[in-house]
Amino acid sequence: MTESAPLRPRREAARITQMLDAVLGIDRFDRAPVDVEALALEYSAKVAPDQAIDRIVKADIPGCVGALVCSEEKPRKWAVMYHKDQSPGRRAFTIGHEFGHYILHRQNIETDPRYNFGIYCDEEAITQRDGIGIEQEADTFAADILMPLHDFRGQLPAKARPDFETLGGLANRYGVSLAAATLRWLEYTETRAMLIVSNEGFAHWAKSSKAAFRSGRYLRTKNKVSELPLLATAVTRNFTDETKKGISQSAGVWFPESAVEMCIRSDRYDVEYTLLHFEKDRAWSHEEEITLDSFDRFSDF
């Protein structure tokens, strides 16, 4: 029987995580993040010495964040490429993602002519973690390797409502970007929260926790002009210690309920990160507009 797609990346990542825990100790993240570049090179040489990852290189890959490629001649030689100018945290997740493709999909890449001996991954697939199929599997593998849930949950319980300082500390612990750490937390949190990444008053992408999504608190950003509300910090550009820690936004600014809004700016990537926390507990009625497209509503303000 073929193993289901969601299970295989988690099983493969768990195997490697257990190995690292045994060798380095379960407290290994107290000392350092996963050296994913060394891991990819050493582990591939161990499990497939004739088809190991030969090199991991920085490259100019227009339109892509990373790639996994192999030689046409056999035995295959494999290389991971990551696009230039990525921060160390983004680079780590990119390499982890391509390592996931190597572990999970290299037979497809070398035998299916549609791949042409390589797979090239864009920002949506890696940075936003919004791919499907094999891209989703590679994301799952990378997150499980770099930020194992048993350790992550121990640092940040499911009912916690973190600020960017807390999430930034976790990003440092795991050697990943702030966005990657926040997305990891959003996977399991029991709170209603949302991350929005924007520039010049428009959302590039957004991700809601399951609880937020089920209560209608999400933004549609695909194939839409996604304008932010006028009172959002990312629009007013009033970036202060207060907005970083969290300010109260009244009902009607983002959604028909109030929210605590935290916002910081990354000059390196020319984007703003906004984190919304909605009130902890709420009884939702069927009359609530849970499928409301918020950006359609924004145009009314």
Cβ atoms 244, 262 nearer than 8 A: yes
Residue 284: give its domain's CATH number.
Answer: 3.30.450
Distances (CA, A) of 28 to 36, 102, 143, 155: 14, 25, 16, 13
Residue 1, pLDDT score: 38
On the question of pLDDT at 136 being above 90, the answer is: yes
**70 found inside a domain:** yes
Residue 126: predicted pLDDT: 85
Helices (H) and strands (E) in the chain, counts: 12, 9
| 157 domain-assigned | no
pLDDT of residue 103: 97
Residue indicated by tokens 């390592």: 99
Let me know whether 196 and 259 are in one domain. Answer: yes
Place of tokens 């509300």: 229
Question: Please, what is the Cα angle at 142 between 46 and 126, to 5 degrees?
Answer: 130
Could you give the 3-state DSSP secondary structure of residue 178? helix
Q: What pLDDT score was predicted for residue 5?
A: 54
β-pairing verdict for 247-249 and 193-199? unpaired
Among 180, 74, 166, 160, residue whose Cα is nearest residue 117: 74
Per-residue pLDDT, 7: 77
Domain span at 42: 7-150
**Cβ contact 146:18 at 8 Å:** no
Q: What are the residues whose beta carbons fall under 8 Å from the beta carbon of 88, sequence distance 6 or more?
A: 175
Residue 131 is encoded by which pair of tokens?
């791919």
Shared domain for 145 and 199, answered yes or no, is no
Residue 135 maps to a domain: yes
Q: Are 292 and 220 in contact (CB under 8 A)?
A: no
Identify the burial level of 158 via C-beta atoms within 10 angstroms of its C-beta, where 0-12 means exposed, 13-18 middle and 19 or more buried.
exposed
Q: Cβ(297)–Cβ(278) under 8 Å?
A: no
3-state secondary structure of 152: helix
Share of the chain above pLDDT 70, in %: 91
- Tell whether 60 and 124 lie within a shared domain: yes
**Each residue of 137-150: pLDDT tens digit?**
999 999 999 999 99
**36/138 same-domain check:** yes
Q: Is residue 116 part of a domain?
A: yes
The pLDDT tens digits for 269-301 are: 899 999 999 986 554 443 444 433 333 333 332
- pLDDT tens string 201-211: 999 999 999 99
Number of independent structural domains in the chain? 2
Same domain, 230 and 130: no
User: How far from the centroid of its chain's Cα atoms is residue 89's Cα?
Assistant: 11
List, for residues 213-226, the tens digit of each pLDDT value: 999 999 988 777 78
Is residue 211 in some structural domain? yes
The answer to whether the peptide bond before residue 75 is cis (omega within 30 degrees of 0) is yes
- The answer as to whether 184 is a domain residue is no
Residues 58 and 135 in one domain: yes
Question: How far is residue 70's CA from residue 72's CA, in Å, rounded to a whole number?
Answer: 7
**Do 129 and 197 reside in the same domain of the chain?**
no
Distance in angstroms between the alpha carbons of the first and the last residue of the chain: 54
Q: Which of 150, 176, 206 delimits the end of a domain?
A: 150
What are 45-103's pLDDT values in tens digits?
Answer: 999 999 999 999 999 998 899 999 999 888 889 999 999 989 999 999 999 999 999 99
Claim to verify: residue 105 and residue 205 sit in the same structural domain: no
Structural domain includes residue 170? no
Residues 222, 146 within the same domain: no
The token pair that represents 255 in the structure block = 């959604």
Let me know if residue 169 belongs to a domain: no
pLDDT of 130: 82
